[in-house]
Protein backbone atom coordinates (compact mmCIF):
# COMPACT_ATOMS: atom_id res chain seq x y z
CA UNK A 1 0.00 0.00 0.00
CA UNK A 2 1.49 3.41 -0.97
CA UNK A 3 2.32 5.77 1.88
CA UNK A 4 -0.03 8.72 2.30
CA UNK A 5 0.83 11.91 4.16
CA UNK A 6 -2.90 12.73 4.16
CA UNK A 7 -3.70 9.50 6.01
CA UNK A 8 -0.71 9.99 8.30
CA UNK A 9 -2.06 13.38 9.34
CA UNK A 10 -5.53 11.89 9.88
CA UNK A 11 -4.09 9.23 12.20
CA UNK A 12 -2.40 11.81 14.38
CA UNK A 13 -4.60 14.90 14.53
CA UNK A 14 -8.13 16.19 13.98
CA UNK A 15 -7.33 17.58 10.52
CA UNK A 16 -11.06 17.97 9.82
CA UNK A 17 -10.98 21.09 12.00
CA UNK A 18 -8.14 22.94 10.25
CA UNK A 19 -4.84 22.76 8.38
CA UNK A 20 -2.17 20.28 9.49
CA UNK A 21 1.39 21.07 10.44
CA UNK A 22 3.87 18.21 10.67
CA UNK A 23 6.11 20.35 12.90
CA UNK A 24 3.25 21.06 15.32
CA UNK A 25 2.17 17.42 15.29
CA UNK A 26 5.66 16.20 16.13
CA UNK A 27 5.76 18.63 19.04
CA UNK A 28 2.97 16.60 20.66
CA UNK A 29 4.50 13.55 22.42
CA UNK A 30 4.08 10.06 21.01
CA UNK A 31 5.19 6.75 22.46
CA UNK A 32 7.50 5.19 21.73
CA UNK A 33 9.26 8.36 20.64
CA UNK A 34 11.25 8.39 17.44
CA UNK A 35 15.03 8.18 17.95
CA UNK A 36 16.58 11.55 18.56
CA UNK A 37 17.21 13.66 15.48
CA UNK A 38 15.15 14.86 12.55
CA UNK A 39 12.06 12.79 11.73
CA UNK A 40 11.44 12.47 8.01
CA UNK A 41 8.06 12.50 6.31
CA UNK A 42 8.72 8.93 5.20
CA UNK A 43 9.48 7.74 8.74
CA UNK A 44 6.26 9.27 10.02
CA UNK A 45 4.20 7.89 7.15
CA UNK A 46 5.60 4.38 7.48
CA UNK A 47 4.45 4.32 11.08
CA UNK A 48 1.01 5.94 10.75
CA UNK A 49 -0.19 5.97 7.11
CA UNK A 50 -1.92 2.57 7.02
CA UNK A 51 -3.62 3.07 10.39
CA UNK A 52 -4.69 6.55 9.26
CA UNK A 53 -6.33 5.11 6.16
CA UNK A 54 -8.25 2.63 8.31
CA UNK A 55 -9.25 5.41 10.71
CA UNK A 56 -10.48 7.57 7.82
CA UNK A 57 -12.66 4.68 6.64
CA UNK A 58 -14.10 4.33 10.16
CA UNK A 59 -14.75 8.08 10.42
CA UNK A 60 -16.60 8.13 7.09
CA UNK A 61 -18.80 5.13 7.92
CA UNK A 62 -22.46 5.34 8.90
CA UNK A 63 -23.48 2.01 10.45
CA UNK A 64 -23.49 1.80 14.23
CA UNK A 65 -25.13 -1.18 15.95
CA UNK A 66 -24.40 0.12 19.48
CA UNK A 67 -26.96 2.20 21.35
CA UNK A 68 -24.49 4.39 23.23
CA UNK A 69 -21.34 4.56 21.08
CA UNK A 70 -20.36 7.87 19.50
CA UNK A 71 -18.33 7.48 16.29
CA UNK A 72 -16.64 10.87 16.73
CA UNK A 73 -15.53 10.00 20.26
CA UNK A 74 -14.17 6.64 19.10
CA UNK A 75 -12.20 8.27 16.27
CA UNK A 76 -10.68 10.79 18.70
CA UNK A 77 -9.83 8.04 21.22
CA UNK A 78 -8.21 5.92 18.53
CA UNK A 79 -6.02 8.86 17.50
CA UNK A 80 -4.77 9.19 21.06
CA UNK A 81 -4.11 5.44 21.28
CA UNK A 82 -2.24 5.38 17.97
CA UNK A 83 0.04 8.04 19.44
CA UNK A 84 0.49 6.06 22.66
CA UNK A 85 -1.09 2.59 23.04
CA UNK A 86 -0.16 2.47 26.71
CA UNK A 87 -2.71 5.08 27.78
CA UNK A 88 -5.45 2.40 27.93
CA UNK A 89 -6.90 2.12 31.43
CA UNK A 90 -9.46 -0.44 32.58
CA UNK A 91 -10.64 1.48 35.65
CA UNK A 92 -13.20 1.10 37.12
CA UNK A 93 -13.92 -2.23 35.40
CA UNK A 94 -12.40 -5.66 35.96
CA UNK A 95 -11.54 -6.06 32.28
CA UNK A 96 -7.79 -6.35 32.84
CA UNK A 97 -7.42 -9.55 30.80
CA UNK A 98 -8.98 -8.46 27.50
CA UNK A 99 -7.76 -4.88 27.79
CA UNK A 100 -4.15 -6.01 28.19
CA UNK A 101 -4.62 -7.91 24.91
CA UNK A 102 -6.10 -4.79 23.28
CA UNK A 103 -3.10 -2.73 24.40
CA UNK A 104 -0.74 -5.19 22.74
CA UNK A 105 -2.90 -5.21 19.60
CA UNK A 106 -2.68 -1.41 19.38
CA UNK A 107 1.07 -1.53 20.06
CA UNK A 108 1.93 -4.35 17.65
CA UNK A 109 -0.66 -4.04 14.86
CA UNK A 110 -2.21 -0.54 14.87
CA UNK A 111 -4.01 -0.95 11.53
CA UNK A 112 -5.66 -4.21 12.62
CA UNK A 113 -6.54 -2.49 15.89
CA UNK A 114 -8.43 0.30 14.09
CA UNK A 115 -10.13 -2.16 11.73
CA UNK A 116 -11.21 -4.28 14.71
CA UNK A 117 -12.90 -1.24 16.28
CA UNK A 118 -14.55 -0.39 12.94
CA UNK A 119 -15.96 -3.89 12.44
CA UNK A 120 -17.26 -4.06 16.00
CA UNK A 121 -18.89 -0.64 15.82
CA UNK A 122 -20.54 -1.24 12.47
CA UNK A 123 -21.28 -4.98 12.49
CA UNK A 124 -21.12 -6.00 16.15
CA UNK A 125 -18.41 -8.59 15.55
CA UNK A 126 -14.65 -8.97 15.39
CA UNK A 127 -13.23 -11.35 12.79
CA UNK A 128 -9.79 -12.57 13.86
CA UNK A 129 -6.95 -13.43 11.51
CA UNK A 130 -7.38 -17.07 12.53
CA UNK A 131 -11.01 -17.04 11.35
CA UNK A 132 -12.52 -16.92 14.84
CA UNK A 133 -15.46 -14.53 15.09
CA UNK A 134 -16.02 -12.72 18.40
CA UNK A 135 -19.55 -11.35 18.59
CA UNK A 136 -21.17 -8.62 20.67
CA UNK A 137 -24.60 -9.78 21.79
CA UNK A 138 -27.56 -7.44 21.35
CA UNK A 139 -27.87 -7.06 25.15
CA UNK A 140 -24.27 -5.86 25.46
CA UNK A 141 -24.75 -3.40 22.60
CA UNK A 142 -27.56 -1.75 24.56
CA UNK A 143 -25.45 -1.23 27.70
CA UNK A 144 -24.12 2.16 28.75
CA UNK A 145 -20.37 2.54 28.77
CA UNK A 146 -19.34 2.50 32.40
CA UNK A 147 -18.14 5.91 33.61
CA UNK A 148 -14.48 6.16 34.50
CA UNK A 149 -11.04 6.10 32.91
CA UNK A 150 -11.97 3.41 30.39
CA UNK A 151 -12.71 4.87 26.96
CA UNK A 152 -15.59 4.03 24.65
CA UNK A 153 -13.30 2.24 22.21
CA UNK A 154 -11.68 0.30 25.07
CA UNK A 155 -15.09 -0.84 26.28
CA UNK A 156 -16.16 -1.66 22.72
CA UNK A 157 -13.31 -4.15 22.31
CA UNK A 158 -12.63 -5.45 25.82
CA UNK A 159 -16.24 -5.87 26.95
CA UNK A 160 -17.07 -7.72 23.72
CA UNK A 161 -14.13 -10.07 24.12
CA UNK A 162 -15.00 -10.81 27.75
CA UNK A 163 -18.74 -11.18 27.15
CA UNK A 164 -18.13 -13.54 24.22
CA UNK A 165 -16.28 -15.94 26.55
CA UNK A 166 -18.89 -15.87 29.31
CA UNK A 167 -21.38 -18.72 29.61
CA UNK A 168 -23.53 -17.74 32.58
CA UNK A 169 -22.79 -14.09 33.35
CA UNK A 170 -23.27 -11.14 30.99
CA UNK A 171 -21.07 -8.07 31.00
CA UNK A 172 -23.05 -5.03 32.10
CA UNK A 173 -22.31 -1.50 33.21
CA UNK A 174 -20.81 -2.68 36.50
CA UNK A 175 -18.32 -5.11 34.88
CA UNK A 176 -16.27 -5.67 38.00
CA UNK A 177 -17.34 -9.06 39.28
CA UNK A 178 -17.38 -12.69 38.18
CA UNK A 179 -18.54 -11.66 34.70
CA UNK A 180 -15.24 -9.85 34.09
CA UNK A 181 -12.91 -12.58 35.39
CA UNK A 182 -10.46 -14.02 32.85
CA UNK A 183 -8.76 -17.40 33.11
CA UNK A 184 -5.44 -18.42 31.57
CA UNK A 185 -6.93 -20.51 28.76
CA UNK A 186 -9.06 -17.56 27.63
CA UNK A 187 -6.08 -15.20 27.76
CA UNK A 188 -4.06 -17.63 25.64
CA UNK A 189 -6.99 -17.94 23.19
CA UNK A 190 -7.04 -14.17 22.64
CA UNK A 191 -3.26 -14.16 22.19
CA UNK A 192 -3.64 -16.76 19.44
CA UNK A 193 -6.71 -15.28 17.73
CA UNK A 194 -6.77 -11.52 18.38
CA UNK A 195 -3.00 -11.02 18.34
CA UNK A 196 -2.49 -13.73 15.70
CA UNK A 197 0.40 -15.35 17.60
CA UNK A 198 0.03 -19.11 17.06
CA UNK A 199 2.93 -20.39 19.18
CA UNK A 200 2.91 -20.23 22.95
CA UNK A 201 0.74 -21.50 25.74
CA UNK A 202 -0.28 -21.06 29.34
CA UNK A 203 0.87 -22.45 32.66
CA UNK A 204 -0.32 -22.03 36.24
CA UNK A 205 1.92 -21.79 39.28
CA UNK A 206 -0.42 -21.64 42.27
CA UNK A 207 1.75 -23.99 44.32
CA UNK A 208 5.03 -24.29 42.40
CA UNK A 209 6.66 -23.55 39.06
CA UNK A 210 6.78 -19.77 39.37
CA UNK A 211 10.36 -19.50 38.08
CA UNK A 212 9.48 -21.63 35.03
CA UNK A 213 6.56 -19.29 34.31
CA UNK A 214 8.84 -16.27 34.58
CA UNK A 215 11.32 -17.88 32.19
CA UNK A 216 8.58 -18.70 29.66
CA UNK A 217 7.46 -15.06 29.72
CA UNK A 218 11.00 -13.85 29.11
CA UNK A 219 11.55 -16.33 26.28
CA UNK A 220 8.34 -15.23 24.54
CA UNK A 221 9.14 -11.52 24.75
CA UNK A 222 12.73 -12.04 23.60
CA UNK A 223 11.35 -13.97 20.60
CA UNK A 224 9.34 -10.90 19.61
CA UNK A 225 6.12 -12.10 21.22
CA UNK A 226 4.02 -11.25 24.24
CA UNK A 227 3.51 -12.49 27.78
CA UNK A 228 0.90 -11.78 30.43
CA UNK A 229 1.09 -12.58 34.14
CA UNK A 230 -1.89 -13.36 36.36
CA UNK A 231 -0.90 -11.73 39.63
CA UNK A 232 -2.21 -10.52 42.93
CA UNK A 233 -2.64 -6.81 42.13
CA UNK A 234 -1.14 -5.95 45.51
CA UNK A 235 2.28 -6.23 43.87
CA UNK A 236 1.64 -2.82 42.30
CA UNK A 237 -0.36 -1.31 45.16
CA UNK A 238 0.99 0.82 48.00
CA UNK A 239 1.75 -1.32 51.04
CA UNK A 240 2.34 1.66 53.31
CA UNK A 241 4.16 0.51 56.43
CA UNK A 242 3.55 -3.18 55.60
CA UNK A 243 7.01 -4.58 54.74
CA UNK A 244 6.37 -8.33 54.85
CA UNK A 245 7.50 -8.98 51.27
CA UNK A 246 10.70 -7.56 49.79
CA UNK A 247 8.97 -6.14 46.73
CA UNK A 248 8.91 -2.54 45.47
CA UNK A 249 7.51 -0.69 42.48
CA UNK A 250 8.02 2.51 40.58
CA UNK A 251 5.69 3.73 37.87
CA UNK A 252 5.54 5.95 34.83
CA UNK A 253 2.08 7.26 33.91
CA UNK A 254 0.84 7.52 30.32
CA UNK A 255 -1.78 10.13 29.43
CA UNK A 256 -3.13 11.16 26.04
CA UNK A 257 -0.88 13.56 24.11
CA UNK A 258 1.45 13.92 27.07
CA UNK A 259 4.94 12.53 27.54
CA UNK A 260 5.07 9.64 30.02
CA UNK A 261 6.12 10.79 33.46
CA UNK A 262 9.51 9.89 34.87
CA UNK A 263 9.63 6.86 37.13
CA UNK A 264 8.27 7.62 40.58
CA UNK A 265 10.20 6.99 43.74
CA UNK A 266 10.12 3.44 45.13
CA UNK A 267 6.94 2.28 46.87
CA UNK A 268 6.75 -0.89 48.95
CA UNK A 269 4.27 -3.42 47.58
CA UNK A 270 1.21 -4.30 49.61
CA UNK A 271 1.35 -7.69 51.31
CA UNK A 272 0.27 -10.56 49.02
CA UNK A 273 -3.28 -11.85 49.24
CA UNK A 274 -5.43 -14.55 47.63
CA UNK A 275 -7.03 -15.14 45.14
CA UNK A 276 -5.13 -13.70 42.15
CA UNK A 277 -7.16 -10.92 40.60
CA UNK A 278 -5.24 -9.10 37.89
CA UNK A 279 -3.65 -9.60 34.46
CA UNK A 280 -0.62 -7.47 33.57
CA UNK A 281 1.38 -7.30 30.37
CA UNK A 282 5.02 -8.29 30.80
CA UNK A 283 7.36 -5.87 29.02
CA UNK A 284 10.69 -7.58 29.73
CA UNK A 285 13.56 -7.12 32.12
CA UNK A 286 14.07 -10.56 33.66
CA UNK A 287 17.56 -12.02 33.44
CA UNK A 288 17.30 -15.22 35.44
CA UNK A 289 19.95 -17.90 35.43
CA UNK A 290 19.15 -21.60 34.97
CA UNK A 291 18.52 -22.13 38.66
CA UNK A 292 18.23 -18.76 40.41
CA UNK A 293 18.52 -18.58 44.15
CA UNK A 294 15.32 -17.54 45.91
CA UNK A 295 17.10 -14.45 47.17
CA UNK A 296 18.37 -13.42 43.73
CA UNK A 297 17.35 -9.89 42.70
CA UNK A 298 14.74 -9.35 39.98
CA UNK A 299 13.71 -6.24 38.04
CA UNK A 300 10.52 -6.70 36.03
CA UNK A 301 8.76 -4.28 33.70
CA UNK A 302 4.97 -4.53 33.68
CA UNK A 303 2.07 -2.59 32.16
CA UNK A 304 -1.35 -1.99 33.71
CA UNK A 305 -3.86 0.81 34.35
CA UNK A 306 -2.27 3.14 31.79
CA UNK A 307 1.09 2.88 33.53
CA UNK A 308 4.43 1.17 33.15
CA UNK A 309 5.78 -0.37 36.34
CA UNK A 310 9.31 -1.30 37.29
CA UNK A 311 8.94 -3.97 39.97
CA UNK A 312 12.07 -4.84 41.94
CA UNK A 313 12.79 -7.27 44.74
CA UNK A 314 13.78 -10.91 45.01
CA UNK A 315 12.75 -14.02 43.11
CA UNK A 316 11.15 -15.42 46.25
CA UNK A 317 9.15 -12.25 46.91
CA UNK A 318 7.76 -12.00 43.35
CA UNK A 319 6.68 -15.65 43.36
CA UNK A 320 4.31 -14.81 46.24
CA UNK A 321 2.30 -12.63 43.83
CA UNK A 322 2.48 -14.79 40.66
CA UNK A 323 -0.12 -17.44 39.73
CA UNK A 324 -0.11 -17.99 35.96
CA UNK A 325 1.41 -16.93 32.65
CA UNK A 326 0.05 -16.85 29.08
CA UNK A 327 2.39 -16.33 26.16
CA UNK A 328 2.44 -16.02 22.38
CA UNK A 329 5.04 -15.55 19.68
| Domain boundaries, position 90 | 5-11+42-184
Chain segment 149-196, per-residue pLDDT in tens: 899 999 999 999 999 987 545 555 555 555 568 899 999 999 999 999
Rounded to 5 degrees, φ, ψ at 75 are: -60, -45
Report which of 162, 156, 164 is spatially closest to residue 178, judged by C-alpha positions.
Answer: 162
Please, what is the Cα angle at 189 between 322 and 143, to 5 degrees? 95
Chain segment 246-269, per-residue pLDDT in tens: 899 999 999 999 999 999 999 999
Domain-terminating residue out of 158, 184, 210:
184
Q: Please answer whether residues 273 and 239 qualify as being in contact, where contact means their C-beta atoms are separated by less than 8 angstroms.
A: no
Helix (H, G, I), strand (E, B) or coil at 179: helix
| 127 shares its domain with 232 | no
Domain-terminating residue out of 184, 210, 232:
184
Question: Which residues does the chain have with pLDDT short of 70?
Answer: 1, 167-180, 243
**Per-residue confidence (pLDDT) for residue 145, from 0 to 100:** 86
| 252 shares its domain with 307 | yes
Burial call 278-292: b when 16+ CB within 10 Å, e when fewer: bbbbbbeebeeeeeb
Is residue 180, in this structure, part of any structural domain at all? yes
- pTM for the model: 0.94
Domain-terminating residue out of 154, 184, 214:
184
Is residue 76, in this structure, part of any structural domain at all? yes
| 64 shares its domain with 162 | yes
Is residue 163, in this structure, part of any structural domain at all? yes
**Per-residue confidence (pLDDT) for residue 40, from 0 to 100:** 92
| 56 shares its domain with 120 | yes
Chain segment 220-241, per-residue pLDDT in tens: 999 999 999 999 999 999 988 7
Q: Which residues contact 152 (CB under 8 A, 6 or more apart)?
A: 69, 70, 73, 74, 77, 145
Is residue 284, in this structure, part of any structural domain at all? yes
Counted domains in the chain: 2
Is residue 33, in this structure, part of any structural domain at all? no
Helix (H, G, I), strand (E, B) or coil at 175: coil
Amino acid sequence: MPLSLRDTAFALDAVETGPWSMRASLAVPMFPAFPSGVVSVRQLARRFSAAGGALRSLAQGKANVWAHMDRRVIVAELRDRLRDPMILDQDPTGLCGPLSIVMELARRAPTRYVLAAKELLEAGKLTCATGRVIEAEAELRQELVIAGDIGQVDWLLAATMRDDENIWEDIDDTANGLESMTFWGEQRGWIRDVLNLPSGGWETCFNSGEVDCMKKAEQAVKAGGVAFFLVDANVIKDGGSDHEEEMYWQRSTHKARTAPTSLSSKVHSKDDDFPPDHWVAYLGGLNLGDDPDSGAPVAIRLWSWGREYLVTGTVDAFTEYLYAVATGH
